[in-house]
Structure 1
Amino acid sequence: MRYLPLTEADRAEMLAVIGAATVDDLFADVPAQARLDGPIAGLPLHASELAVERHMTGLAARNLSAGSVPFFLGAGAYRHHVPASVDHLIQRGEFLTAYTPYQPEIAQGTLQALFEFQTQVARLYGTEIANASMYDGSTACWEAILMAGRITRRDRVVLSGGLHPHYAQVVRTMAKFTRDVIDTRLPELQAEPDDIALISSIDGETACVVVQYPDILGRIPDLAAIAEAAHARGALLVAVVTEPVALGLIEAPGHLGADIVVGEGQSLGVGLQFGGPYLGLFGCREKFVRQMPGRLCGQTVDAEGKRGFVLTLSTREQHIRREKATSNICTNSGLCALSFSIHMTLLGGEGLARLARINHARAQAMVARLTQVPGVSCLNDAYFNEVTLLLPRDARDVVRALAERRVLGGVSLGRLYPGVASLRHGLLVTATETTTDEDIAIFAAELEGVLA
């Protein structure tokens, strides 16, 4: 039975109040080519549950899952081994069904888990504080830009050409609908890292400069130099980390002068999951804490002197007056944050460093073998576990041909930058601790066959 309580008169009244002539007016910002003008062709209007289940199972069987074939995809979502104990622990009822603690001090277990999570993120990022998580890396990036605008009272943002294009698109989309920060500039991505050009884009009206570390091509920018230049002009440096495992080997952004560090936490404890849910990480300098979005859990003592946990700061609109809120983050990816924290706890500092070294060694072995394929070269002078290969022809065609040979052989730059002809031959490939010598050998053999 369908439940549609609103009448046509109800809908007409609501449209009149908001000034829209029809319901279609509400979708004006969705590109015309993405809007449907009727039922989807070939899709039946109804079917039995059994028929739908059988159909969907057949569609799912057409997927090449990450664990079933040699897998070299990355570009912001990475395949790592997640210990079985992570899933076992988050399946406990008190974790799996927990929601936002509106009476937080009653939920001591939730608060303690988030407190430990914040500590881990702050240490990982080299920042003085971290919040109790966000939706994902791209929206955390946008929240950092808004925060920088509030701190500096400026409205210009410089985005590095090495920022993930999907993150940049989220920024541009969100900027379109807010007056807080509206002037975003994205220099064209260059094959060679050009920190000097980025630094020259920073002026006295810049609120912040946003730099990915390592960047979308796998290169490692000089954050210290960029931070110094930004601070000299009164701007903040926002560092974006899409692969947190890298921080087990390279210096934390906060130690290099970054004022706000954000990124994606999916690599630790959270599987690929067909694109989500994921986990946004957010850390900053303590002096900026009241401008930080989301929530902050703190440690204290109760009336009897026993250790306890409280919601120290909550700047979201559900807790304070709406006009005083710094964001409308309504949840905190709590289960993903717990998965991250459990995985980090199992690894420890030494374990994370060892995991990072294994990742880098796997990437070195991959590059050494793939660059033996005729016509293939490596763009990067330095990298962590992700590099850009230059192929003798359009990488999009190569990726499709490799998939037909049951190899998921990376992400073509032509897919990420469809309008940039100079990047069509670029292939972004990633190796992690899950990548075996056999995987690399198969990849190399199939790539050579495709390019022959």
Structure 2
Amino acid sequence: MRYLPLAENDRQAMLGAIGAGSIEDLFVDVPKAARLSGPIEGLPDHAGELAVERQLSALARRNLVAGEVPFFLGCGAYRHHVPASVDHLIQRGEFLTSYTPYQPEIAQGTLQALFEFQTQVARLYGCDVANASMYDGSTACWEAIGMARRITRRSRTILSSGLHPHYVSVAKTMARFTGDLLETASPELTSETDMARLLAAVDGEASSVVVQYPDILGRIADLSELAERVHAAGALLIVVVTEPVALGLIRSPGEMGADIVVGEGQGIGVGLNFGGPYVGLFATRDKYVRQMPGRLAGQTVDAEGKRGFVLTLSTREQHIRREKATSNICTNSGLCALAFSIHMTLLGETGLRRLAAINHAKAVQAADRLTQLPGVELVTAGFFNEFTLRLPREARPVVRTMSERGVLGGVSLGRLYPGIEALQNGLVVAVTETVMDEDVEALADALGEALA
């Protein structure tokens, strides 16, 4: 972050230029509950650049670094090994400013990279066509709901209880402005998903059903019957995938009848990065392509018969008339999409399947080891690389105790669902190829001590 040495007269000059009376006027749209009541604790009111650098560096050293401790966090953001060649390639000058070209005919390399990315996403998701990426998985989920509304001309959406609560929160925020009715529910600590609820809720008024696969507890459901029921009611099935590596081992949503598949691509090629930037993936069927948000790079032949690439569709309000745009929050995350594509190319289909198998094997090993601890019960009967444990006591203080011992031991459901008593003992554990045997033992030891 740049150091900006602003004095009070500088602030007043800027406020006067934009017609604001005070700094507080800039935050009137932010709910009071979300605002700070005073200065950030531990930071001085003002200091020189050197002093600020030292203080912020000292604060940063208090963090547990993902790559330096046993790491079992997941719930939508996963630590996978990203080959050094990915970062080397995206740092090249011709790629570093990668973004959707506004003069596409002179940006053939950028368009080709987007075209290859789209092809990879479409194949991964089992769909006909994919766009050139979006902000992240949560906003892609909302865009899918909006797309289903345009197609079905209905505004009632049924959300699975297994959908990530942050994705639900984003959808609720946007629905305030569109009038969409979102039917939500909270998960239960059981091995079964809420498939029965979803099947019963689908009717002729539903626009879409949104299901996460695997869901927030790591459970994996066969979506084929749900897809049939949804289609019979004239609605669309939207499937959210937060862990792309899982699709190297389990069936793609498109194979099971999903109409729109969206998700987070961070798990391939993109580091954790404190929560961003990430890359949203979005794919659908051919017949719905003109309702798809974002941009679509296509392949063609020029006047000399040579292969070329074009920006076939661009439905963002920056490119076309605002009233014709499908969205204005669907920017192309060009550099992250490129990192995803390079990593996927390095893996290939065989490598992705092998990587997925390693993830699953290590997760099974960890689940077997942790359930040997007294009072620890495995909730998720079938899972990929993420599973939920029921602890004999509340999980949040257990997680804090483990972190004090240098182990990032998972995500407590109490953190994701603070007001639901039945979920407070739930702990979601993610295990990727980066986890070693000694890490699993360190987790088991730390968890055992925290529960003692």
Per the normalisation by structure 2, the TM-score is 0.94
Match of 1:384 in 2: 384
Shift of 1:251: 0.3
Q: Secondary structure at the match of 2:435?
A: coil
Q: Which residue does 1:240 correspond to in 2?
A: 240
Counterpart in 1 of 2:185? 187
CA distance in 2 between partners of 1:440 and 1:7 (Å): 54
Q: Matched residue of 2:414: which SS? A: helix
Residues 296, 312 of structure 1: 8 Å contact kept: yes
Give the whole-Å Cα distance in 2 for the aligned partners of 1:436 and 1:317. 47
CA deviation after TM superposition for structure 1 residue 100, in Å: 2.9
For residue 329 of structure 1, report the CA deviation from its aligned partner.
3.4
Deviations 1:80-128, CA, capped at 9 Å, x for gaps: 0000100000010010023331101110000000000000000000000
Asked whether the equivalents of residues 161 and 194 of structure 2 are also in contact (C-alpha less than 8 Å), the reply is no
Aligned-pair CA distance for 1:377: 1.0
Native 8 Å contact 2:160 2:194 kept in 1: no
* Matched residue, 1:50: 50
The answer to whether 1:83 aligns with 2:83 is: yes
Choose the corresponding residue for 1:11, options 19, 23, 37.
19
In structure 1, give the amino acid aligned to 2:244: P
Moved more, 313-322 or 404-413: 313-322
| Cα deviation, residue 449, structure 1 | 1.3
SS at match of 2:146: helix
CA distance in 2, matches of 1:329, 1:111: 21
Unaligned runs of 5+ in 2: 1-5
- In 2 relative to 1, CA 301–3 (structure 1 residues): closer, same or farther, beyond 3 Å? farther
- Correspondence for 1:394: 394
Matches within 5 A, 1:251-290: 251-290=251-290
Q: 1:293–1:329: 8 Å Cα contact kept in structure 2?
A: no
Aligned-residue offset at 1:232: 1.2
1:419-447 CA-partner distances (Å, limit 9, x unpaired): 11001110000101011111001111111
Query: How much has 1:164 moved relative to structure 2?
Result: 0.3
C-alpha distance 317-4 of structure 1, shift in aligned 2 (>3 A): farther
Contact 2:80 2:267 in 1 (8 A): yes
1:25: Cα distance to partner?
Answer: 6.7
Residue 231 of structure 1 aligns with which residue? 231
CA offsets, 1:36-65, max 9 Å, x none? 455445533321110011011101100101
Distance between the aligned counterparts of 1:53 and 1:38, measured in 2?
Answer: 22
The 5-angstrom pairing of residues 97-246 of structure 1 reads 97-179=97-179, 182-192=180-190, 193-246=193-246
Alignment-mate amino acid for residue 279 of structure 1: V
Decide which moves more: 394-403 or 38-47. 38-47
Instruction: Report the AA paired with residue 188 of structure 1.
Output: S
Report deviation, 1:171: 0.4
C-alpha distance in 2, partners of 1:370/1:7?
A: 57
CA distance in 2, matches of 1:53, 1:25: 29
Deviation at 1:360, TM superposition (A): 0.3
Q: How many residues align?
A: 442
Q: Say if 2:172 and 2:182, in contact at 8 Å, map to a contact too.
A: yes
Deviation at 1:200, TM superposition (A): 0.9
- After superposition, the Cα gap between the structure-2 partners of 1:387 and 1:135, relative to the gap in structure 1 and judged at 3 Å, is same
2:19 is paired with a residue whose SS is: helix
Confirm or deny: 8 A CA contact 1:370 1:376 kept in the other structure: yes
* RMSD, matched Cα: 1.7
Q: Is the 8 A contact 1:219 1:380 kept in 2?
A: yes
Q: CA deviation at 1:222?
A: 2.2
Aligned equivalents of 1:36 and 1:166: distance in 2?
Answer: 21
Taking structure 1 as reference, are residues 156 and 103 closer, same or farther at Cα in structure 2, changes over 3 Å only?
A: same
Alignment check: 8 A CA contact 2:378 2:388 kept: yes
Q: Contact 2:135–2:330 (CA<8 Å) still a contact in 1?
A: no
Change in Cα spacing, 1:441 to 1:43, as seen in structure 2 (3 Å) is: closer
- Give the C-alpha shift of residue 314 in structure 1: 0.7
Deviation at 1:275, TM superposition (A): 0.6
**Partner residue in 2 for 1:18:** none
Query: Does the CA contact (< 8 Å) of 1:195 and 1:222 recur in 2?
Result: no
Whether contact under 8 Å (1:260, 1:283) holds in the other structure is yes
> 2: CA distance between counterparts of 1:28 and 1:105?
43
What's the offset of the Cα at 1:223?
1.0
* Aligned twin of 2:353: 353
Superposed CA offset, 1:116-157 (max 9, x none) = 000000000000000000000000000000000000000100
Distance 1:7 1:262, change over 3 A: closer
The 2-side partners of 1:71 and 1:39 are apart by 32
Distance apart, 1:242 and its partner CA: 0.1
Paired residues of 2:129 and 2:283 also in contact (CA < 8 A): yes
Instruction: Report the residue type matching 1:315 in the other structure.
Output: T
Contact 2:228 2:257 (8 Å CA) reproduced: yes
Q: Which residue of 2 aligns with 1:331?
A: 331
Q: Which moved more, 1:185-194 or 1:225-234?
A: 185-194
1:259 and 1:352 map into 2 onto residues whose CA distance is: 24
Q: AA paired with 1:189?
A: P
CA distance in 2, matches of 1:9, 1:382: 59
In 1, Cα distance between the equivalents of 2:136 and 2:182? Answer: 20
Unaligned runs of 5+ in 1: 16-21
- Aligned-residue sequence identity (percent) comes to 69
| Partners of 1:318 and 1:330 within 8 A in 2 | no
